[in-house]
């Protein structure tokens, strides 16, 4: 994959935190990366190794036109669905518009990206969906629907892996634990509240965005050629408790 001329990887949410680390890792590995993020400029901005483009994952028509546009730049060999938002909501609260937007981005956005990009990919391509350890931590009361969105994404990963494997495209997901990046107010509340699961991490620290990016690179590589429909949990041993 690295040696393919004009090989393109797409990373949604590539302008911040984990997404930016993934973009850097993949470009260092020889891929030309398209960073698709709502925070980017509206038109394609090409600085050589990285091409940046604004993309709203709630805009279905926009996703389709984006995929067609990127396919003219080279051969799409990888897709990383990293874009996601967190909106606080407990199990006893009625979900509001913010929660619905979260579901649209975290689940349906990734699904639509996959549906738009997969037909344009070559055999041997790979897709990685970024989930979250929150899908396994129902005790985080104000993030139950965020966790539910990531559980849904993992279920979608398994279903799309089964559908795309005969076409030579592997689909997996990766569930980071607590990662040391700039946090939203909602995530900061979760991470540092009394009784936070962060206190149970066996490694005794947060992970880094670079550590997550290295694992994404592995899942996209030929070294993971027999990994299909899996979720790689990268949480410093939190799940051991």
In the set 146, 156, 192, 226, the catalytic residue is 146
Nearest to 178 by CA among 145, 144, 150, 212: 212
Distance CA 23, CA 12 (A): 10
Structure token digits, residue 124: 């041997």
Annotated catalytic residue 226:
no
**Helix (H), strand (E) at residue 187:** helix 185-192
Beta strands 170-176 and 231-234 are parallel
State how far the alpha carbon of 193 is from the alpha carbons of 91, 119, 140, 150, 236, in Å.
Answer: 18, 44, 10, 21, 19
Active-site residues: which are they?
Answer: 146
């Amino acid at each position: 994959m690295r040696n393919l001329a004009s090989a393109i990887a797409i990373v949604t949410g590539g302008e911040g935190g984990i997404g930016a680390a993934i973009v850097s890792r993949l470009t260092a590995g020889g891929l030309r990366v398209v960073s698709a993020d709502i925070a980017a400029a509206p038109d394609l901005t090409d600085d050589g190794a990285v091409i940046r483009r604004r993309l709203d994952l709630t805009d279905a028509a926009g996703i389709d036109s984006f995929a067609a546009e990127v396919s003219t730049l080279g051969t799409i060999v990888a897709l990383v669905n990293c874009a996601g938002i967190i909106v606080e909501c407990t199990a006893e609260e009625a979900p509001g518009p913010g929660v619905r937007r979260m579901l649209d981005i975290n689940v349906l956005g990734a699904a639509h990206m996959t549906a738009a990009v997969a037909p344009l990919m070559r055999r041997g391509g790979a897709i990685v969906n970024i989930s979250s350890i929150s899908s396994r931590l129902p005790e985080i009361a104000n993030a139950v629907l965020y966790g539910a969105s990531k559980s849904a994404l993992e279920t979608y990963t398994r279903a799309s892996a089964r559908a795309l494997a005969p076409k030579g495209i592997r689909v997996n997901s990766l569930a980071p634990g607590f990662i040391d990046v700039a946090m939203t107010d909602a995530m900061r509340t979760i991470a540092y509240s009394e009784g936070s699961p962060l206190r149970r991490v066996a490694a005794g620290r947060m992970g880094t965005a670079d550590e997550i990016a290295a694992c994404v690179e592995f899942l996209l590589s030929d070294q993971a050629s027999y990994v299909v429909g899996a979720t790689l949990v990268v949480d410093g041993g939190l799940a051991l408790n």
